Structure 1
Amino acid sequence: MKHIYILFLGSLFLTLSCSTDLDESPPNIASSDSLTDFEGVLSAAYYYQLGAVTPMAVMGDFRADNALMLESPYTEFDTYGPGLTAMEDQYFGPFYTALYRSVLSANNVIENSTNTSQIGEAKFLRALSYFKLVQVFGDVTIILTSPDIGDIPTFDLTRQPAAEVYNNVIIPDLQDAISLLNITNTNGRASKLAAQSLLGKVYVHMGNFGSAQPHLADAVNGAAAGDVSLLENYADIFVTDLNSEIIFATQISSSLEDEYGFSDFWSWYLGNDTKSPRPLDASLITAFDASPGDLRRAVNIDEVNARSPKYPQVGGPDHDWIELRLADVILLYAETLNENGASPENVLDLLDPIRTRAGLAPLDHTVINTQALIRQAIYDERRLELAFEGQRWFDLVRTGTAEAEIGETINPNYYLFPIPISEILASDGVITQNPGY
């Protein structure tokens, strides 16, 4: 119980502005009862997302077949066994703590603010936090209030089924965010377009393509109204923060110290961390070999140094972490249409702008003409388009293709990651461990 108490206090006392540069620090907030403006608490909910960025990147790419760890015990990411618990302090603990701090800050805004935009943004951030938690851990504790200190010992910390987290928290929060927010974002804040995109993505991860389709359609068809469009040059997406392709990103600045005290996400991909100085997995090279002439190759992989140069260091390592961008949403929409029985033309036409930007010809509708062939084409496109964006492992798990793609028999227990042991101990065993760990 003490740990939850500390997290709650952190969500109240540490408040940082979420301007484009994330470099303002307004006064600390003493008590939610005395507040009339919850902008600082909302900014804290944004700020705490920073602590989840690098762990999500490592879990998404190093657990998958895009990147490799080279130093023990970090090689446990590639062995699909119980050894990941040895890395709680660097990955799973900070990830868990950061997202629950974001949740508690969002709860405070939702419960107490009278500003509908603030509430909409807070609901988006709470949904985003729980979506990440469910992807990584499966069943998780649900906390939807900002507790008074005296109430904390009575909190039910029991992990709730992932389906309930989706249906009772994530989906309703995103539905509310859609109704409360404007289509465009301001200074990178959450928007209606971001909520529509995330809700569609959530349904895809649940395997509910029927419910996903209208929300992804709204996002793709409404992107222009939200000032969102595909960039002409793929490489430019990762040079300029908050560019026109970005629907939502967690903003990062070297002038702002976040609570995650280890290597930044881009440094892992670049091979700057001693645990993996040559992180590029040969499997990704093979995938690009199967796509000759693909302009994304040079952006994503450096074969000579066995690393990814995707996030250039020109101007300093201030790269934002992209949570949602238009190409991702288009590919999810195409996948959804295919799973719902749309014609090959209607599905593959969506891929044309993405492939053309990559220097590739459109796929031949007369050859790629079955649901299975189209499905694989979309999976292949997602791998190349979204490499080193923290998505690969979670795509493999949701599509049931992890074993086939990685080439190993994987116990399903290890599709999830270990609950931090510190949380289990702090809850006196109320919070339980995932099977296999």
Structure 2
Amino acid sequence: MKNIYQGLLILTLGMVTACDSLLDIDPEFTQDAENFFNTEEDFDRAIIGVYDMMQPAYLNMWIGEIASDNAIAGGESVNDSRGLHEIENMTHGGVNQELRAVMRVNYTGIARANYIFENQDNIDFDGKALILAEAKFMRAYFYFNLVNYFGDMPLIVDRRISISEIPNAERTPRAAIYEQIESDLGEAMEVLPWTFSETGRLTRGAAMAMLGKVLLYQNKYAEAATILGDLIADNQGGYELFPDYSTLFLNENRNVSEDVFTIQFSGLQGGDYGCLVCLNGNAAVGFQSIRQYDGPFYADGNSYNLPTQDLYDAFEEGDIRREATVLDLDAFIAAQPNPDEITYAIGGGGHTGFYNNKYIKRLDERGLPDDDLTSPLNYRAIRWADVLLMAAEAFQRSGNDERARTELNKVRARVNMPDVSSSDDALYQAILNERRYELSGEGFRFFDLVRTGQAGERIDGFITGQHEVFPIPQVEIDLAGGIWEQNPGY
């Protein structure tokens, strides 16, 4: 199968890379539609450019874990990626490089999608509706990230924004952004096919799952239950739980039946440490691997995003997902025939003894030439287990405990855990606990705790009424002429 990310192009269509300023999206008069968007190939190249901006998924993985009770920042020192350490300690403010990167890459993705819509009437061809549907899905995804990180944000659709407009680009209420997200996903869902011959392209099932997630995050439980229930019942994508959880996150099991919405990576070089968003590989894997490790099975890395003892202890007795999720390195070494010959280093940024076993560098999965940056492991933005658990939550919250138990217990049966038989609030908490057992290490924990109102009791230093959203990067407030108010408490 052809992979859409092979030979990925970083387009230079007057759109910035994520290394440039957030709102400097369209240098005025540098590009017009007269010499682009005149052929089907131009539209194909442009949509690949939008896909490209989903690849900085490592930011969601890091922040979604490190901001929660699941992980600490780790790394070489507290001054190495200082922004992640501030997020871990809930001391982050308006000057934070990681949060600025989140804002820039998502708005860059929006700009690339909007550039397609701005020129959608230039020509007609058979596949144009499909390209527009893909662009709508990704625009919704980028706005969903922004609204969950920062709350109210400028909403710009179907056109780029020029520098001269920045002082007037006021923040749009979150509810209006969600309306646009739902509209984009609903329209994309009607056009996208259930399957593609090109691995990695977005599908109708992915759009339905994403819409269900968007509705769940707004507490629209009945609507979420309907769309997720329809996806489970119809399921023309052939989705099912991968039978062996312990090997699900190996590179050999990429693009399996469990994958609903997956961001693709390759082992090619692409960028470097100066531009992580330019990479073809999954940067998170090398960064999360074992510092100066010399031993079997695993490979060395930078010891970021280290799971906590709290996460390790949270799993139920006999749950195989604990070892599949959290690598207890010292226990692994002690079980080897030559433990005295295996060595590793501890970074100054913190050490727990645990590593993210889902997204970690293994000896036989390394990319080339710099395997710190070139892991081919895909990022699973939504997998089938997540769909089932989102459906379980939506059904329970909308009064259907029986159906909630059915979907919850499908996930537990895959790992030979006993059925849950509880009801009401006990069932709700069991579903939320199951999300932690099933999805930890994948970047969802912080947002789950926030949207369910449990962050204040689970995250050290979390201030209710402030930390539900992150601060707007101060440099972007300045670029907007100071018309954006900072989020409360920052």
With over 3 angstroms needed to count, the CA separation of the structure-2 counterparts of 1:371 and 1:408, relative to structure 1, is farther
Give a deviation string over 1:329-365, Cα, whole Å, max 9, x none: 110001111011113x3221212231122121222x2
**2:308 pairs with 1:287:** no
Structure 1 stretches of 4+ with a deviation exceeding 4 A read 26-30, 271-278
Match runs of 1:360-375 below 5 Å: 360-363=417-420, 365=421, 368=422, 370-375=423-428
Instruction: Look up the SS of the partner of 1:377 in the other structure.
Output: helix
Q: CA deviation at 1:119?
A: 0.6
**2:122 pairs with 1:109:** no
User: How many residue pairs align between the two structures?
Assistant: 406
Structure 1 partner of 2:382: 324
Instruction: Look up the SS of the partner of 1:226 in the other structure.
Output: coil
Distance 2:439 2:232 in 1: 17
Q: CA deviation at 1:233?
A: 0.9
Give a deviation string over 1:236-286, Cα, whole Å, max 9, x none: 332222221111112122315254269922244435599855822111012
Q: CA deviation at 1:411?
A: 3.2
Amino acid across the alignment from 1:184: T
With over 3 angstroms needed to count, the CA separation of the structure-2 counterparts of 1:409 and 1:20, relative to structure 1, is closer
Instruction: Look up the SS of the partner of 1:61 in the other structure.
Output: helix
Q: Which moved more, 1:105-114 or 1:262-271?
A: 262-271
Match runs of 1:13-412 below 5 Å: 19-25=3-9, 31-34=32-35, 35-36=37-38, 37=40, 38-51=43-56, 53-70=57-74, 71-72=77-78, 73=82, 74-81=84-91, 83-86=92-95, 88-89=96-97, 91-113=98-120, 114=124, 115-147=128-160, 152-153=164-165, 156-167=168-179, 169-185=180-196, 186-223=198-235, 225-239=236-250, 240-257=253-270, 259-260=275-276, 264-272=283-291, 279-288=306-315, 291-303=316-328, 304=330, 305-312=353-360, 313=362, 314-316=364-366, 317-343=375-401, 345-363=402-420, 365=421, 368=422, 370-406=423-459, 410-412=463-465
Larger helix proportion, structure 1 or 2? 1
Q: Which moved more, 1:315-324 or 1:155-164?
A: 155-164
Amino acid across the alignment from 1:42: I
Amino acid across the alignment from 1:41: A
Amino acid across the alignment from 2:319: D
For structure 2, the residue ranges without an aligned partner over 5 or more in a row are: 14-30, 292-299, 331-352, 367-374
Give a deviation string over 1:284-314, Cα, whole Å, max 9, x none: 01211xx111111111112233212213523
With over 3 angstroms needed to count, the CA separation of the structure-2 counterparts of 1:27 and 1:127, relative to structure 1, is closer
| Residues 184 and 227 in structure 1, CA contact (< 8 A), matched pair in contact too | no
Give a deviation string over 1:183-233, Cα, whole Å, max 9, x none: 22442111111111111100100011022111111222233x113221101
Instruction: Look up the SS of the partner of 1:388 in the other structure.
Output: coil
Structure 1 partner of 2:341: none
With over 3 angstroms needed to count, the CA separation of the structure-2 counterparts of 1:360 and 1:85, relative to structure 1, is same
Amino acid across the alignment from 2:47: L
User: TM-score scaled by structure 2?
Assistant: 0.77
Alignment RMSD (CA, Å): 2.5
Q: CA deviation at 1:47?
A: 0.3
Quote the sequence identity (%). 28
Distance 1:244 1:256 in 2: 28
Instruction: Look up the SS of the partner of 1:331 in the other structure.
Output: helix
Distance 1:298 1:129 in 2: 32
Q: CA deviation at 1:416?
A: 1.2
Distance 1:158 1:126 in 2: 19
Instruction: Look up the SS of the partner of 1:302 in the other structure.
Output: strand
Larger radius of gyration: 2
For structure 1, the residue ranges without an aligned partner over 5 or more in a row are: 1-17
Structure 1 partner of 2:342: none
